[in-house]
Chains A and B, each alone.
Chain A
Amino acid sequence: MKKKNMTVSRYFKRYLKRCVTGPVSLVMGLSVTLKYFFNPKRIVTEQYPENKKTLKMHPRYRGRLEMIEDAEGNNKCTACGMCEKACPNASINVLATKNIAGKKVLGRYEYHFGSCTQCGLCVEACPFGAIRMSQAFEVATTDPTSLDMILNKKEGQG
């Protein structure tokens, strides 16, 4: 803003101009805040713990991984390991076992929530639609070991 070859008259012209435009601009700014202050309708706050009942995530929201189970707790997983391979940081362990007929079925679907990035690549990769991203978002815990979860309740079918 500093110009060396500024004449006195120009300096004062600028000075006076700023004396006028300055306060005007400040009042304009103030008018915006006053408008917002006196208009409680503009408040956009969502009060989380109080609005728990009405708070709903979008249907596509990617919370934590969960297994799709029917009423009896059976899942559709065949332990093919596609999700495991798709997972960018090996947060999923598909641990297969043999059932009584000697066929490879899902034994334990271990999921490391602590390192999961919720990218949804596993759901995309699953050929049988056995897993989905849940809507859970209240997931804070004081115990980090509880973040290593087992998702399936039952062994896989087969």
Chain B
Amino acid sequence: MGIVNYAPKILDPVPGGKYLVNMIDYVVNWARANSIWPLTYGTSCCAIEMMSSSMARYDIARFGSEVFRASPRQADLFIIAGTITRRMAPALQMLWEQIPGPKYAIAMGACTISGGPFVYDNYSVVRGAQNLIPVDVFIPGCPPRPEALFHGLLTLREKILHETCRSPWKEGDVRDVSTLDRYREASKAWLALERIKDEEMAEARAKFKEENPEYKSAYKPVRVKKEEFPEVERKALLGKGLENGFLSAAEIFTKTRDRFNRVVAKDMATEAIDTKSEVESADDCLENIMKYPVDFPLELTVNAEDYLDVVKFMRDDEDLKMNFLIDVTGIDYEDHFEVITQLMSMDRGHKVFIRVPLKKNFGIAEEKRANAILAQIPSITSLYPAAEFKEREVYDMFGIEFTDHPDLRRIFLDEDFTGFPLRKDFTNPHMIRRPL
């Protein structure tokens, strides 16, 4: 690229050289503006629209851009399609650096302009690609239509055509807008304006009031009439497995209760940890179960000591045959965690959700608590291999340790990330609270 930029230096002294330089400019710009090869890069929804734009119906090839290069070294254009997370940011910057100049970037979609749907309450999304790399064209939309992308491409084309070798392409600047809270900024600016306006208007308003003491606004806003709809009763459909042998919630409960007498079924609305020493009676539990429609899965509250045994029993018992693990997840309450293991029987069709309340270990000093593991529970990876990733997720999000887990590492966040995001008291310097 360097050669062209020397053209004015060499040719200007020559008589008529200026015209030659202009001609070179024209040819080079024409080539650059009409042959934009994008890089194959996409992370989420916008990537699909980017792909759509290269497909038969929209056909980006008409602009000469169908040559999507997988290697950044052969690309000219970086269409940043999709959310950029903090974990992805270094990779994104590296890709940008690998593209040989002159290179251009299009921020496609709301996520890459400002963070999009993930602006507030978010600890992992970079609010806008312009924080990381210089962006030339912004295409708002979530995701923008392929036509909008083409419009962006044409906008970029116009921009390229304005380059000359006297003012050649150079890498733009990165703008840090990551801490920009547009809502609060606008409100603040408006408040300041309002104050001035109030001061200015005070007299006029007082005068107006004096003149029309009985003033009532002539404007009556009309509410939009909404269609009336009937109320419909919900039908609870009962599931069935691959074979017969569906057990109702009460049957599962009694079966488990026979074996483990500390297992209880609480009202689903209760969240309190079992502080009472005595266990609720089986009848109370059955009453709780009966309160809910048939398509609500049974939720059992199990002690952490019994947890592994209960799961093992459920898996191995011939009638229960819980051979499928739907999910393992957690909930953070103020004083305790709850790990929820969702089991299902593919053959029989019934489901059991096992709630395991775990007391938080408040022995850890308060300042260290944010980054410390506060509870432990045995891992069920040996029973269900599916649990491996799920338990890693719970560990990553809540800081609950799963003992005997084969590979307990963070799964979604970096190893050096501070804190566990799904705890209610989680704070992060990058997070902006949602203003409403």
Interface set, chain B 90-124, CB cutoff 8 A to A: 110, 113-120
Cβ-defined contact, B224 with A100, below 8 A: no
* Residues in chain A near residue B117, CB distance under 8 A: 88-89, 115, 117
For the complex, what is the distance from the CA of A141 to the CA of B141, rounded to whole Å? 12
* Residues in chain A near residue B201, CB distance under 8 A: 98, 100
Known interface pairs A128-B224, A142-B159; A45-B436 also in contact (CB < 8 Å):
no
Question: Does B336 sit at the interface, judged by CB under 8 A?
Answer: no
For the complex, what is the distance from the CA of A102 to the CA of B186, rounded to whole Å? 22
* Residues in chain B near residue A134, CB distance under 8 A: none
Most buried by B among A47, A48, A64, A141: A48
Question: Does B171 sit at the interface, judged by CB under 8 A?
Answer: no
Question: A113 → chain B, closest Cβ, in Å?
Answer: 5
Known interface pairs A49-B150, A90-B183, A127-B224; A141-B205 also in contact (CB < 8 Å):
no
Question: Does A151 sit at the interface, judged by CB under 8 A?
Answer: no
For the complex, what is the distance from the CA of A142 to the CA of B172, rounded to whole Å? 12
The 0/1 profile, CB within 8 Å of B marked 1, for residues 112-150 of chain A is 111111110000001111000000011111111001100
Question: Does A66 sit at the interface, judged by CB under 8 A?
Answer: no
Known interface pairs A102-B209, A138-B147, A141-B155; A78-B221 also in contact (CB < 8 Å):
yes
Question: Does B362 sit at the interface, judged by CB under 8 A?
Answer: no
Contact pick for A148, options B128, B142, B186, B435, CB 8 Å? B186
The 0/1 profile, CB within 8 Å of A marked 1, for residues 140-151 of chain B is 111011111111
For the complex, what is the distance from the CA of A44 to the CA of B52, rounded to whole Å? 13
Known interface pairs A85-B436, A140-B139, A140-B151; A114-B113 also in contact (CB < 8 Å):
yes
Residues of A within 8 A of B (CB): 43-49, 55, 64, 76, 78, 84-85, 87-91, 93, 95, 97-98, 100-103, 107-108, 110, 112-119, 126-129, 137-144, 147-148, 157-158
Residues of B within 8 A of A (CB): 56-59, 62, 110, 113-120, 128, 130, 135-142, 144-152, 154-155, 159, 177, 182-183, 186-187, 190, 194, 197-198, 201, 204-205, 208-209, 212, 215, 217, 219, 221-224, 434-436
A-B contacts, 20 of them at CB < 8 A, read A45-B57, A48-B58, A49-B150, A76-B222, A85-B436, A90-B434, A95-B194, A98-B205, A100-B204, A100-B208, A110-B186, A116-B140, A116-B142, A119-B142, A128-B223, A139-B144, A139-B148, A140-B138, A144-B113, A158-B217
Given contacts A90-B183, A95-B186, A117-B142, 17 further A-B contacts (CB under 8 A): A44-B57, A45-B62, A48-B147, A89-B117, A90-B119, A93-B186, A102-B205, A113-B140, A114-B140, A117-B117, A127-B223, A129-B222, A140-B137, A141-B155, A142-B136, A144-B128, A157-B219
